Structure 1
Amino acid sequence: MLKRWGLALALVLAGAGASAARAETGAPDRPKGSLVIIGGGLRANNVEVWQKIVELAGGKGARIAVFPTAAGTPAREAQLTADTLKRYGAQAFVVPVAPRLAGTDALKAADDPATAKAVREAGGAFFTGGDQARITGSLRRADGSNTAVLDALWAMYRRGGVIAGTSAGAAIMSSTMFYDPPPEVLPMLKHGITDGKDVAPGLGFVGEDVFIDQHFLIRGRFARMLPVMLAKGYTLGIGIDENTAAVVGPTRDVTIIGYRGALVLDLAGATVDKAQPNFNVANARISYLDSGDRFNLVSRAYSPGPDKEPLKNIDREHRESIFTTDILGNTSVVNLLEKLTDSDQQRAVGIAFEGPGSKTPERGFEFTFTRVPDTREYATNREDAYSIYRIRMDVRPVKMHLPLYSAD
């Protein structure tokens, strides 16, 4: 693993270096290309996502640069990815910039003029999964400046090419990325984040105003984005589920394609009680975008997929209170939002606590989800699929009385 503090320091400095490099090129602020940001776990049979990558790179015969930079076994990952892209009609070639690739020096390879030229002239690039620190550590020099290959990627993207990435390849898309965070979500809510450890600069292809996370629903990660967004001043975050992609076009329109969906967190109107020492946030908005839904990063307007219709009160079921004891469990938050949408209730509540092995097992958080006037809900009867926009979310610290249960 490349989690050395020297690299962390270089990454912290990298944001300024990247901005300076972009300014030196004199290129327009808005690239003409697209991004395909995949939440990890992309399967070879996900026709919609793979075909979209090839289409955006120029269609059949398009040259796509494969970056196995993040992978622990880069030769294998590169071959698998290149073979899949070729199956969907692309001419894929491997970029030998990877710390774990035998017989190569990643930083030296990232400054090779011939490699940079091939990337610049390609129609697209694809970053595999693995460790995102390997990507930023290989494409930026120790002083934070761009390597020739990173400049070539920006040039290709600005010209109209596509940059795709899965898992670690998705994390690098925002200007701040998760670097080496704890595996569980609750410690980040309890203790906050540390620069150079939990987060570090990404490559920023999606812009400075959107935070990206991956493996989002299946691993229950939605809440770990909150402390990062608040600490770094983001008001918009997108978390993408596995085998699913968010396609970001040059007009900043986002379309969700693939297996499931993505969550959007909007903190533009959120507030924090600074008198409260523990993490809290009020009046945030959480939205679930199903496959086929669209969202604009500038206007923040949502558009449901073509098969969706607005839910009416007559369509909703009567339920008792909607509650879960594990809001951070796999897919729990979307399951809860769907129950709320398909009910006559106005709010749902979920809580989260750590196990008895925690230093503070009694400390946890309550998440309250409430319908508000600007909430919009859509569904399709054919697949029982939902699109849920602008549900109010409030998070507050709570304490559990211990012991919670006894043997008698």
Structure 2
Amino acid sequence: MALGVTPVAAADAVPAGYAVPIGGALKYDNEAVWGRLVELAGGKGARFVVLATAAGNPARSGRQIADALARRGALAEVLPVSPKLNDADVTAAVRDPALIAKVRAARGVFFSGGAQERIVDSLAPAGVESPLLAEIRALHRRGGVVAGTSAGAAIMSSVMFRDAQDVMRILKGELRQGKEYDRGLGFAGESLFVDQHFLKRGRIGRMLPLMVAKGYTLGLGVEENSAAIIHGDEIEVIGGKGALLVDLSSMKRDADSGPFNLRGARLSYLDRGDRYRMSTRTVLPSAAKLADHRVDPNAADFKPFFDNDAFHLDMLGDTTIVNAMSNLIDNARREVRGLAFNARPAADDPAPSLGFEFRLYKGEDSVGWYTGAFGGEDYTVANLYLDVTPVRVAQPLYRPWIN
């Protein structure tokens, strides 16, 4: 993979441990996530170190995370490693033999949310791996758990978004090293890109351009209050909702057309309890889904639940992409379209009329599963396809009606 950013370190072998990116907004009563972290680390009495390095208030954030782990039976300690702590020198902390020994004695590490650049800049200043980071990697290699929420999830891939809140600006080509993106810490491996707050904030619009620019063919977007357990070749999704898998191994694009575009991106949505095998790009539905209803839009006896011709005015809206996927897989229609655009472009927007059409459509391998076991209408969706095409959007989009 030809990346524009050199990873901080590259492992020669697949670690024996678990990388657990959590999509942010993790509720403290989410037993599926907190309990599973402790279980993966060895169960009751498992030792965790908490790094609230990214947090604006590291003392408070670290204490809350340690308390949540302790309530599930872990022995959790907050390490004073943060540029926001007035009474601690982060440069000295990442070389402190006492703190390194605490990591060596632990079975789990938990990174808080906040600003991910604080984690990378503290643990690997100027791209140079600190002794503390080396010890965290050793913990991961020998079978330990490295988990992180929000900013702590962003660092999991070798390249991460550093400061890229405006998704439309990324789609329009604003993607600069050291600003919008930078090196991550790579616990998820070299070939998997990870993003967080994914469905809530419509971040497929920023994931696609970065994956194309940096040569990734597999992306994992984890939703809020949900987690992905990455272990060897497999990803398992747990928690409140799910995660989106983006596979660009067969996509095509016109590199000479100017604005961002692509054809044939393959999307799969993993609901809680589902698994994904990375080597074969295979979705493995949960037992609840397998026990309920398989949705095969290519079957001769397919009886679709929906027959609406939807059009989405904001494909980057809150959960819009996964709602569109769930509707389409169980729909008599073969495709659905929508737009991504700035309704009120900023004064410095270099292309205010530039928007993007998103076309989702079924292929011969598209399939889904449905269950009501979780108390709602929950779908797992495998292998829908996406084209993104630049379009010109009228500015203003609408005017007052005058008779």
- TM-score, with structure 1 as normaliser: 0.91
Residue of structure 2 equivalent to 1:186: 168
Corresponding position of 1:8: none
1:388 is aligned to: 381
> Does residue 325 of the first structure (1) align with residue 313 of the second (2)?
yes
2:99 paired with 1:115: yes
Q: Out of 315, 326, 333, which is 1:345 matched to?
A: 333
Q: Cα deviations across residues 159-202 of structure 1 (Å, max 9, x unaligned)?
A: 11000100000000000000011x22111111241111110000
Deviation of 1:114 after TM superposition, in Å, equals 1.4
Match of 2:52 in 1: 68
Paired position in structure 1 for 2:9: 18
Deviation at 1:314, TM superposition (A): 4.5
1:136 aligned onto 2:120: yes
How far apart, CA to CA, are the structure 2 residues paired with 1:94 and 1:50? 16
Find out whether 1:397 has 2:390 as its counterpart.
Answer: yes
Q: Indicate the RMSD between aligned Cα atoms, in angstroms.
A: 1.5
Is 1:275 aligned to residue 259 of structure 2?
no
The residue aligned with 2:369 is 378
Q: How far has the Cα of 1:338 moved from its partner? A: 1.4
Distance change >3 Å, CA 62–CA 346, structure 1 → 2: same
Please tell me the residue identity of whatever aligns with 1:330.
D
| C-alpha contact 1:71 1:129 (8 A) present in aligned 2 | yes
Letter in 2 for 1:288: Y
Instruction: Report how far residue 402 of structure 1 moved.
Output: 4.0
Counterpart check, 1:173 vs 2:164: no
Give the CA deviation at 1:287.
Answer: 1.0
Identical columns (%): 44
**Is residue 262 of structure 1 aligned with residue 243 of structure 2?**
yes
Q: What displacement does 1:147 show?
A: 0.9
Counterpart of 1:338 in structure 2: which amino acid? S
Superposed CA deviations along residues 262-307 of structure 1, whole A, max 9, x for unmatched, are: 0010000011112211110001111111111100122211111111
- Checking the alignment, whether the CA contact within 8 Å between 1:322 and 1:339 is kept in structure 2 is no
Residue aligning to 1:7: none
Q: Is the 8 A contact 1:192 1:227 kept in 2?
A: no
Alignment of 1:200-349 (within 5 A): 200-249=182-231, 251-308=232-289, 309-312=293-296, 314-349=302-337
**Contact 2:38-2:74 at 8 Å conserved across structures:** yes
2:223 maps to a residue whose letter is D
User: Deviations for 1:187-226, whole angstroms, at most 9, x for unmatched residues?
Assistant: 1111241111110000001111010000001111112101
Is 1:355 equivalent to 2:343 in the alignment?
yes
SS of corresponding position for 1:114: helix
Matched residues, number: 386
SS in 2 for 1:375: strand
TM-score by length of 2: 0.93
Q: Does 1:34 align with 2:18?
A: yes
Equivalent residues of 2:329, 2:366 under 8 A apart: no
1:87 correspondence with 2:99: no
Q: Match of 1:327, as an amino acid?
A: M
Using a 3 Å threshold, how does the CA distance of structure 1 residues 371 and 96 change in structure 2: closer, same or farther? same
Distance 1:403 1:94 in 2: 51
Kept in 1: contact 2:361–2:385 (CA 8 A): yes
Residue ranges of structure 2 left out of the alignment (5+ in a row): none
Instruction: Return the offset for 1:243.
Output: 0.4
Give the Cα–Cα distance (whole angstroms) in 2 for the partners of residues 405 and 63 of structure 1: 58
In the other structure, the counterpart of 1:4 is none
Alignment of 1:153 onto 2:133: no
Q: Which secondary structure state, in structure 1, belongs to the residue aligned with residue 175 of structure 2?
A: coil
Contact 1:366 1:395 in 2 (8 A): yes
* Alpha-carbon distance change, 184 to 110 in structure 1, aligned in 2, over 3 angstroms: same
- For 2:34 and 2:51, locate their aligned partners in 1 and report how far apart those are by CA, in whole Å: 16
Q: Which amino acid aligns with 1:176?
A: V
Task: Decide whether aligned partners of structure 1 residues 261 and 318 sit closer, same or farther in structure 2, where only a CA change above 3 A counts.
Answer: closer
Look up the SS of the partner of 2:276 in the other structure: strand
Aligned-partner Cα distance in 2 for 1:240–1:403: 34
> 1:311 offset after TM fit, Å?
1.3
1:366 maps onto 2:357 in alignment: yes
Distance 2:137 2:58 in 1: 23
C-alpha displacement of 1:317: 2.8
Structure whose residues are more often helix by fraction: 1
Letter in 1 for 2:150: S
Q: CA deviation at 1:384?
A: 1.6
Cα distance in 2 for residues equivalent to 1:321 and 1:225: 27
Separation in 1, partners of 2:396, 2:144: 58
Query: After superposition, what is the alpha-carbon deviation per residue over 1:343-378, rounded to whole angstroms, capped at 9, x for unaligned?
Result: 111001011110233433321000000100011111
